[in-house]
Amino acid sequence: MATVTYSFENFVPEFVVNSTAAGSQYRPDIAVLSNGDLFFTFETDSADPLYQDVVFRRFDASGNALDASDGIVSVGPGADDEDDPAVAVLSNGNVVVVNEDNNAGGEDDVEFHVFDPSGASLTQSIVTQAEGQATDNQPDPVVAALSGGGFAVVYTDEFAGSGTNTNVEFVVYNNDGSPRTGLMFAGGGVTSNTVSQPAAVGLTNGNFVVTWTEDLGDGDTNVKFRVFNSVGQPASPEVTANEDFDDQYHSVVAALPDGGFAVAYVDQYDGNALDTQVEVKFYDAVGNAVGATGFIDLGDDLVSRPDIAVISNSYVLVSYTSNRNGNADVFAQVFDFSGNKVGEEFNLEVTPGTQIGSSLAGLGGGRFFAAWEDSEPALGDTSGYHIAAQGTEFVRTTIGNETNETLTGDDLRDIMEGGGGNDLLNGGAGNDTMAGGTGDDIYIVAAAGDTTVENAGEGTDTVRSYINWTLANNVERLELQGSGNLNGTGNTHNNTLVGNSGNNLLNGGGGNDYMVGGTGNDIYIVAAAGDVTAEDPGQGTDTVRSYINWTLGANVERLELQGSGNLNGTGNNLNNTLVGNSGANSLSGGDGNDYIVGGAGNDTLAGGAGNDTLIGGAGSDILNGGTGNDRFDFDAVSDSPAGPALRDSIVGGFSHGFDHIDLATIDANTLAAGDQAFSFIGSAAFSGVAGQLRYTNYSGNVIVDADVNGDSIADMQILVAGTNFMTGTDFIL
């Protein structure tokens, strides 16, 4: 059986978020913009140690700052405190930040500020003053962006400044900041119980869920939640996350891709503040529990300030601050959506100092950004706490044995080693590294970042690809999957390339390759004499692009010679199109009604049997229509200039009444605007009129002369061998 382990790897090293080293910075929150940039918001006392401001700063996905300095978020007036920021990305790509403002009257207000992705201010409002709550305290603001547009601002309301009688309340706004609802109640009410510490998130169906902590009045606290629709009406009953007789608090919530949500919180058990664990529970879209409860048992460690983020289609990450050995650090644990731990607990930051208060933002595919408060001065901020952040990836490693195994991944980045045996390695949607080892292995690839690794002599190996793919060294076979228009490229070995039902481009590369296009209009790139193309009847209109002399195989319709070499191209019994390159080509259509284009060199074109079209193009070309009703097409005067070394020759017997010389594309009179037709004057001499076309006998042949500028000198000539006359019906004028 294969062995599976997990690890965390940083793809963006730790960096400092705040732009100034003055003062301290606290309480970070992160949002990922639609273009992949990062929007950080946090508290700072850098301007005045007696007061705190809420600021923001943007970074790209590589950790490079997009803003030279921290931008101001809070809208409260005067010398007061703004703190507790939270951020969310709206459905239109804008960003909303909420925070608490300790106003001049001593009360705490809740305010929001909407920015565009560049950080430009769009609208702002003090929520609680607008709702007539100017004499109450409203701490703990959070915000949930709704998938159908709008956002909910959620907060605790302490009646008339009381800390004992509280509600968790919210107001729903439209994306432009205009109110959609009035003041709504999430939990609590005018009771003797205290409710506080709300969290909220928008769900995929347009609803949102609010969680909170409720003091039961008997010394215990519970975490509760309720789902609401986009206009603030309840969409579920009020649910208690944990019915145990212990304390549960500091809840956080994340929306799952299946429409449900996950709630994590601190559970203090046995009545001991130092006996704590972090729990995570999973629910469907209407609040029904699914799966098991996930636990992180921290024993005698004091735990606080958890956060949660979805990091892939199958996993959530829960982070938390834990005091161990007299020091606080930020740790994290991954769970699947059934509540099972995946891998081991991970210390996000292992340098000295104190790290607390983490915030997470999931990117998908196992990747996430984390930010926290950090007292460690090594990154240049020595004045106190700063905001540190890093990008981290959750990676799975699967090691097979000597048997035939199937190793399967998902959207994480997988590292797979098949070992011995004929293995099937399927990395899933992530950017995976797969090494089959010995045996005849099969790789399933679906991401451009996938990598296959094979050594020489390790069997005959196959890649089955759902994307454009180039075979790595020592892999012999490629099979394109699905119905998309995909490209497949070989390596230096003798490869087999198999297309799907789409329009494929198959390039064997070096080696003698066997290429099967399948249905669809396929293109083959050939460069070795031993290359083979295989098509069945009725499988589309297919093309070979060849760098060598080439004869079309059965059921392939088109040949295009590449490069500048003097190459030969031969058709089959179908109606072929043969196209030369810039060299001197010999193109032979064979049977069928063929369309043959010489290109730039001095070419020899042979139509063979059938009604063929021959286009010599530039250069002095020899055109042989063969049997059938053939058309010799000239598109420009320069296709056959006057003079024995320049003009084209039609050989093989021009059949009057059946074969035709097509001059219709050429403007016969360059002195007049528009596109004029030639006027055939038989064997008469030119009379100084532009557009005249005549013939003269020449040693048992005919030379066709064309005057396009009226100077009575032939500007264009065509030699027609084996005849001594031409008629007007021999031309398409």
For the cut 80, the answer to whether the pLDDT of residue 299 exceeds it is no
pLDDT at 304: 86
Query: Band of the pLDDT at 172, cuts 50, 70, 90?
Result: very high
pLDDT at 251: 96
Q: Where are the domains of the chain?
A: 28-305+329-349, 634-733
In 3D, which of 457, 449, 450, 419 has the Cα closest to residue 436?
Answer: 419
For the cut 60, the answer to whether the pLDDT of residue 162 exceeds it is no
What integer is the mean pLDDT of 338-363?
91
| Top-confidence residue, 129 or 530 | 530
- In the three-class reduction of DSSP (H, G, I as helix; E, B as strand; rest coil), residue 505 is classed as strand
First to last CA, the chain: 78
Out of 39-53, 362-376, 509-523, 649-663, pick the least confident. Answer: 39-53
pLDDT at 180: 97
Query: Band of the pLDDT at 574, cuts 50, 70, 90?
Result: very high
pLDDT at 107: 73
CA dihedral 117, 309, 255, 322 (to 10 degrees): -130
pLDDT at 134: 58
Out of 12-26, 120-134, 496-510, 678-692, pick the least confident. Answer: 120-134
Query: Band of the pLDDT at 220, cuts 50, 70, 90?
Result: confident
pLDDT for 384-399, tens place per residue?
Answer: 899 999 999 999 999 9
In 3D, which of 370, 378, 327, 381 has the Cα closest to residue 348?
Answer: 370
DSSP state of 352: S
pLDDT at 189: 54
Rounded CA gap, 684 and 233, in Å? Answer: 95
For the cut 90, the answer to whether the pLDDT of residue 256 exceeds it is yes
pLDDT at 274: 63
From residue 355, how far is each of 245, 253, 387 by CA, in Å? 31, 22, 10
For the cut 80, the answer to whether the pLDDT of residue 324 exceeds it is no
pLDDT for 428-458, tens place per residue?
Answer: 999 999 999 999 999 999 999 999 999 999 9
pLDDT at 26: 93
Query: Band of the pLDDT at 327, cuts 50, 70, 90?
Result: confident
pLDDT at 379: 59
| Top-confidence residue, 109 or 269 | 109
Question: Which neighbouring-strand residues pair with 350?
Answer: none
pLDDT at 559: 99
pLDDT at 268: 84
pLDDT for 227-245, tens place per residue?
Answer: 999 999 999 999 999 877 6
Return the HEC string of 597-609.
ECCCCCCEEECCC
Type of residue found at 679: S
**Phi, psi (rounded to 5 degrees) for 351:** -80, 165
Rounded CA gap, 708 and 711, in Å? Answer: 8
In 3D, which of 553, 558, 559 has the Cα closest to residue 535?
Answer: 553
**Model pTM score:** 0.87
What topology does CATH give the domain 28-305+329-349?
Neuraminidase (2.120.10)
pLDDT at 132: 61
pLDDT for 621-643, tens place per residue?
Answer: 999 999 999 999 999 999 999 99
Residue 78: how many other CB atoms lie within 10 Å = 7
CATH class name, domain 634-733: mainly beta
Query: Band of the pLDDT at 76, cuts 50, 70, 90?
Result: low
